[in-house]
Structure 1
Amino acid sequence: MRDRFSSRLGFILISAGCAIGLGNVWRFPYITGKYGGATFVLIYLFFLVILGLPVMVMEYAVGRASQKSAALSFNVLEPKGTHWHWMKYMCLAGNFLLMMFYTTVCGWMFYYFYLNLTGRFIGADQAQILSQFQGMLASPAVNLGFMIGVVVVGFYILSKGLVNGLERVSKFMMVCLLVLMVVLAIRSVTLPGAEAGLRYYLVPDFSKIQKYGWNEVVFAAMGQAFFTLSLGIGALAIFGSFIDKTHRLTGEAIQVVCLDTFVALVAGLIVIPACFAYDIDPGSGPGLIFISLPNIFANMAGGRLWGSLFFLFMSFAAYTTILAVLQNIMTMLEELTGWDRKRTLKTSAVLVIVLSIPCALGFNLWSFIQPMGAGSTIQDLEDFIVSNNLLPLGSMFYVFFCTAKNGWGWKNFLAEANTGTGIRFPRSIRVYCGVVIPLIILLIFIQGYWQMFA
């Protein structure tokens, strides 16, 4: 008997927790700051609806119809004589690769929560904060210790079961995350000088796009809308297999996308006004979180409290994704091998820890390994393989599987997506789903390589 979530709310919060991650709360604020604030947000939302939403419905439909993870879902649904089931290996590799660097970065978030909670940044200047960040990267003990802690605690939670483990903890963390975000956003927008940041973030000004050009900005928005939902590696499809057929899948996907978007928008509301209030460039890149923002908290009244709350929120955002993906890894291995839950859990934990070691050591003991050129790290390669290859190619695979005649097919997909009550998936957009979406995904894939080599 397939496990089931205890409630529809559990499914929505856990699915949203999987989609909500560092792409929302880390990448979205600085990429929005870089590409023109409100103008970029509008373009991003447009592509989120026309691109991300349909692919999410397709992943859910494959999972619910097969009642399996990506390990066996294609085996169950594919026509005889076809080879769609080879996709299982891309999905399994994608989930492992994502955890190979995500666990280390999540460890950084918890470490910075600890640093803020213990007052390490009180009175620190920018040079000291930069030194703290560099010291963290240079420490094998910090990187390995927090990475292992993240993985061990994650699998301990999952050992309690789908409802008592994953669902209960994810619900708690998601509620805490949303409350923390609202509190932090209120504090940010009430800082002296935050008004300029609010105007930049909320009032569209298309002239700002001229600095980078429409082409670069549109592709950045397309990429962010696509990658923020973690589509293409079966990370969301698994949760389709854990829900009943009471509700149509379009409505479920809309709720998850709305929650994911809310978190991204409020994250920008936390970061961008605070940057303007303290005269910091909101488009300063990945270092915004670990260098620029701690500098703000170090000079803010009550900065120890606000910094601790901020990195607790960041930790929860990252950890909900990790719990969801670890659950997917366990289920996939269990279905592929036939092992019992206890053996699968132990094997999965060991594999994730061992495979995560290169990233954790890639900033220190193994920093001489620079796979993508001088100054690059092992994490850069892992991220590139997942974000620029497995996610877009996997999503294209799901789209073709649900629309092609020699795949699962449009009629079967529609029948599953529209079972239950709620919003129907439109029958009339088959050509758009089967032709236009794959072309957009192909453009994103090519653009990723173009930017790398350019």
Structure 2
Amino acid sequence: MSNFSKFGFILATLGSSIGLGHIWRFPYMAGVSGGGGFVILFLFLSLSIGVAMLVAEMVIGHSTKTNTTEAFKALDPSPKKRWGYAGITLIGGPFILTFYSIVLGWVLYYLFVVSFDLPQEISASEMRFNHLLSDGLWSQILGFSGVLAITGWVVSRGIKDGIEKLNFVLMPLLFVIFIGLLVYAMGMPSFGKAFDFMFAFRLEDITTNVLVASLGQVFFSLSLGVGIIITYAASTHKKQNLLKSAIWVVVPGILISLIAGLMIFTFVFEYGAQVSQGPGLVFVSLPLVFGKMGLVGNVISVLFLCALGFAGITSTISLLEPSVMYIIDRFKIKRFSATWLVVLAIYICGLLLILSLNKDYAPSLTYFHKSLFDWVDFSSSAIVMPLGGFLSVVFVGWVIGRERVYALSAHFLSPKMFALWYFILRYIAPLVVLVIWLAKILEIFA
């Protein structure tokens, strides 16, 4: 099995986290959560609990050098090796990909179609997006097919020639584009208002809902709980400093989130769009804002959507790799065949989700007032990811044993750092995951 270089591992892990979660989800969550309080909590939780949970999953993969299921088995101290069943969480990647690739397909549609015909009124922008969902069946299928084709091609080429090479190109390009857009936004009068919205601390903004939202964002943005981190860590250098790697993943991810937020809110405030648009912020409010900029708006729209597309593709690749690696190890088949078998299964399921959004097929694919697409989206963040994250932190914090965990982490953690990290894993991280889980489940009955 080929391995990442030390820097390649950081870029690949960073690529898995800097996807739609940081660029699409973070700004709209900040918008609906009131800005400052959400952002400050997100920063604190990312640098504490986020780093601790990343390191825990890295330790599982790095110490065993195998797929997610076999990694749990290898570290399970009991003779029956029942913790191997925890590896079932790797199915979360393909599960999430069924809807994530559809959303990324929307990005491609907006990049190649809407960027050159930007709306001038909010009603036109809303109509464009709603038309894509309910009537644009073939546009969605085309975008979805393109995303999965690119993802499958990269993963089928392997660690060195596929995943690492792509991240070496796309991650620097992503930062260059976003820094350029931020510099442009800083010249606008509304930049100060956007900065105040995101960073002004207002005690009344810290509510239970905002706390849960910020915890959920940390979880969603770091690719925890679906086997990605375990799988990538299994393919890294044996002397990799996992704590430094985790920090190098979290900090640039935070920077991208903040840059995206500052840039988007500057544009939104400058042109009077809705800051609390929710998930439609990127697909409804921003196209309207870009449309009011004239020709410059077309250019900025293309650059922004290219960056969003780059980030999304690196994440789809990460979501696919764990299941492919498992099939290769378990059934001893070639990477090419394993990759396209999984892609085919995702494609078939994804087509059903697209049909569930279409006005002609939605009635047959809607259950309890939610479309099949909405149910998969909801259950991935409410069940799949929290379950996987909970199993990982409990396994490292309570099952493996303190002495063995210390031996696995002694090459990069001092005794004091180990004590702090281990305390977070045993007592704080499980509680955080349970809070997110409970809050998400209660949404069903709200």
TM-score, normalised via structure 1 length: 0.92
Against the structure 1 CA distance between its residues 279 and 341, is the aligned structure 2 distance closer, same or farther, given a 3 Å change threshold?
A: same
CA distance in 1, matches of 2:361, 2:368: 14
Among candidates 357, 360, 363, match of residue 354 of structure 2: 360
Letter in 2 for 1:107: G
Letter in 2 for 1:265: L
1:81 is aligned to 2:80: yes
Mean CA deviation greater in 390-399 or 407-416: 407-416
Partner of 1:312: 306
CA distance in 1, matches of 2:378, 2:409: 32
Partner of 2:123: 127
Following TM superposition, by how much is the alpha carbon of 1:355 offset from its aligned partner in structure 2, in angstroms? 2.1
CA distance in 1, matches of 2:229, 2:106: 25
**What secondary structure is seen at the aligned counterpart in 2 of 1:368?**
helix
1:238 is aligned to 2:234: no
Among candidates 1, 25, 28, match of residue 26 of structure 2: 28
Once the two structures are superposed, residues 374-401 of structure 1 have per-residue CA deviations (whole angstroms, 9 ceiling, x without a partner) of 3x32221112221111111111111111
**Aligned partners of 2:228 and 2:321 also within 8 Å:** no
Against the structure 1 CA distance between its residues 432 and 349, is the aligned structure 2 distance closer, same or farther, given a 3 Å change threshold?
A: closer
Following TM superposition, by how much is the alpha carbon of 1:413 offset from its aligned partner in structure 2, in angstroms? 2.3
Among candidates 273, 282, 288, match of residue 281 of structure 2: 288
Mean CA deviation greater in 354-363 or 188-197: 188-197
Partner of 1:186: 183
Among candidates 52, 55, 64, match of residue 54 of structure 1: 52
Letter in 1 for 2:202: D
What RMSD in Å do the two structures reach over aligned CA positions? 1.9
Partner of 1:177: 174
**Aligned partners of 2:224 and 2:389 also within 8 Å:** yes
**What secondary structure is seen at the aligned counterpart in 2 of 1:68?**
coil
Partner of 1:444: 436
CA distance in 1, matches of 2:414, 2:176: 28
Following TM superposition, by how much is the alpha carbon of 1:21 offset from its aligned partner in structure 2, in angstroms? 1.4
Following TM superposition, by how much is the alpha carbon of 1:294 offset from its aligned partner in structure 2, in angstroms? 0.2
CA distance in 2, matches of 1:429, 1:148: 42
**Aligned partners of 1:188 and 1:270 also within 8 Å:** yes
**Aligned partners of 1:104 and 1:147 also within 8 Å:** yes
CA distance in 1, matches of 2:414, 2:2: 23
CA distance in 1, matches of 2:59, 2:220: 19
Partner of 1:104: 102
CA distance in 2, matches of 1:204, 1:420: 35
1:228 is aligned to 2:226: no
CA distance in 1, matches of 2:317, 2:75: 27
**What secondary structure is seen at the aligned counterpart in 2 of 1:246?**
coil
Letter in 1 for 2:109: Y
CA distance in 1, matches of 2:318, 2:220: 16
TM-score, normalised via structure 2 length: 0.94
Once the two structures are superposed, residues 267-290 of structure 1 have per-residue CA deviations (whole angstroms, 9 ceiling, x without a partner) of 101111111111122221011111
1:329 is aligned to 2:323: yes
Identity %: 25
Partner of 2:372: 378
Partner of 1:204: 201
CA distance in 2, matches of 1:91, 1:342: 19
CA distance in 2, matches of 1:242, 1:188: 39
**What secondary structure is seen at the aligned counterpart in 2 of 1:81?**
coil
**What secondary structure is seen at the aligned counterpart in 1 of 2:113?**
helix
Following TM superposition, by how much is the alpha carbon of 1:347 offset from its aligned partner in structure 2, in angstroms? 1.2
Against the structure 1 CA distance between its residues 424 and 174, is the aligned structure 2 distance closer, same or farther, given a 3 Å change threshold?
A: farther
**Aligned partners of 2:152 and 2:339 also within 8 Å:** yes
**What secondary structure is seen at the aligned counterpart in 2 of 1:300?**
coil
CA distance in 1, matches of 2:396, 2:34: 36
Partner of 1:408: 400
Once the two structures are superposed, residues 205-234 of structure 1 have per-residue CA deviations (whole angstroms, 9 ceiling, x without a partner) of 334x1xxx6111111111111221120111
**Aligned partners of 2:155 and 2:317 also within 8 Å:** yes
CA distance in 2, matches of 1:290, 1:346: 30
**Aligned partners of 1:143 and 1:361 also within 8 Å:** no
CA distance in 1, matches of 2:302, 2:44: 34
**Aligned partners of 1:197 and 1:273 also within 8 Å:** yes
CA distance in 2, matches of 1:233, 1:425: 26
Among candidates 164, 169, 190, match of residue 167 of structure 1: 164
CA distance in 2, matches of 1:420, 1:217: 34
CA distance in 2, matches of 1:408, 1:72: 14
Following TM superposition, by how much is the alpha carbon of 1:429 offset from its aligned partner in structure 2, in angstroms? 4.8
Structure (1/2) with the larger helix percentage: 2
Mean CA deviation greater in 229-238 or 241-250: 241-250
**Aligned partners of 2:191 and 2:262 also within 8 Å:** no
CA distance in 1, matches of 2:366, 2:406: 43
1:394 is aligned to 2:398: no
Mean CA deviation greater in 320-329 or 304-313: 320-329
Following TM superposition, by how much is the alpha carbon of 1:408 offset from its aligned partner in structure 2, in angstroms? 2.3
CA distance in 2, matches of 1:237, 1:248: 15
Against the structure 1 CA distance between its residues 196 and 429, is the aligned structure 2 distance closer, same or farther, given a 3 Å change threshold?
A: closer
**Aligned partners of 1:250 and 1:417 also within 8 Å:** no
CA distance in 1, matches of 2:379, 2:417: 32
Once the two structures are superposed, residues 107-127 of structure 1 have per-residue CA deviations (whole angstroms, 9 ceiling, x without a partner) of 11111110244x111x63222
Following TM superposition, by how much is the alpha carbon of 1:412 offset from its aligned partner in structure 2, in angstroms? 2.2
**Aligned partners of 2:6 and 2:237 also within 8 Å:** no
CA distance in 2, matches of 1:431, 1:255: 22
CA distance in 2, matches of 1:422, 1:379: 46
Partner of 2:409: 417
Partner of 2:337: 343
Letter in 2 for 1:400: V
Letter in 2 for 1:259: P
Partner of 2:112: 114
Against the structure 1 CA distance between its residues 62 and 178, is the aligned structure 2 distance closer, same or farther, given a 3 Å change threshold?
A: same
**What secondary structure is seen at the aligned counterpart in 1 of 2:42?**
helix
Unaligned runs of 5+ in 2: none
